[in-house]
Structure 1
């Protein structure tokens, strides 16, 4: 029996408003996704055209229609500016788990916004979606992202060797997880 879950379209933290991505967010998200330092560890190439952002948002929306994923624009409440995105890249209700992903505009790095956004995702996943496990896959060289996950007490489970093909090369991914009981 398939469980039908309505995913929320908004989450709030002390400084952030997480809202389901909309096509109208594409100018702001294009600015972020066209920065090679931001996309360095994302499994996308640096965007060169705003239409790529629109297409990405539409694709992510299709996944959310099937409740397989959802991506939020991260809005800093003080400035009302989109400073990144985060969400569930993959929702597996049968196994009560999800994979998270996140990106923050370079101008906002080092201010704890990624941690704050991820905490909102964790709270929603464990309390509302009743998930048991949250996973994050990170390239070992992505030191900033690893630090965020360590700060949030994710457990390093090991390395998925040559797990992802990017630009014709195979990259290792480190697997981190957090359980509802952690």
Structure 2
């Protein structure tokens, strides 16, 4: 099993490294995934490499990233789930998850997001989480609502050129 700093029943969270470029290409190079992340639905090799380096830098700078996730049983790469600074001065982080196509519809997004929400509030002391989704990604909308996120506004995402429905989840009382 890869070194994992966080684990659920079925998922282990690791850290991106430059050696993970092939995994990044498997995820972000897939058109079914990229269509929700870019305006033209394609991420070039250069864009994927830059995204990987951004995730690595986010961790060095802020201690968070969209962490790569793996099945605990066989170490199969299934995507990423994690955090990035959204409003650092107010301890607000953005939650995001991207799964490889073969992992869709199997509950991994919910399991990973639930673990990351707990991590955000209990380990890094986030006060609030933000999340957005591509307007056509109804699966992400349902997932966020099921996780307790509340719609707040539409926000422009430069990478897609669209207004994305946006949500927040406040820290539960007493945490």
Calculate the TM-score normalised by the size of structure 1: 0.83
Matches within 5 A, 1:21-170: 21-43=16-38, 46-49=42-45, 52-67=47-62, 69-90=64-85, 92-160=87-155, 163-166=156-159, 170=161
Deviation at 1:110, TM superposition (A): 0.4
Compared CA separation, residues 142 and 23, structure 1 to 2 (3 A): same
Aligned to 1:178, which of 150, 169, 174? 169
Which sections of structure 1, spanning at least 5 residues, go unmatched? 1-8
1:141 match: secondary structure: coil
Match in the other structure for 1:4: none
* TM value normalised by structure 2: 0.86
Unaligned runs of 5+ in 2: none
Deviation (angstroms), 1:63: 2.2
- Would the aligned equivalents of 1:72 and 1:85 in 2 still touch at CA under 8 Å? yes
Superposition misfits of 4+ residues, deviation over 6 angstroms: none
> Which residue in 2 is equivalent to 1:6?
none
Deviation at 1:68, TM superposition (A): 6.6
SS in 1 for 2:166: strand
Change over 3 Å in CA distance of 1:130–1:33 after alignment to 2 = same
Judge which range, 92-101 or 131-140, deviates more: 92-101
Distance 1:139 1:32 in 2: 17
Q: Is the CA contact (8 Å cut-off) linking 1:29 and 1:82 kept in structure 2?
A: no
Provide Cα deviations, 1:117-158, integer angstroms capped at 9, x if missing partner: 111111011111111100101122110111111111211112
Q: Deviations over 1:63-89 (max 9, x none)?
A: 221117422101011221111012113
1:10 and 2:5 equivalent? yes
Aligned length: 169
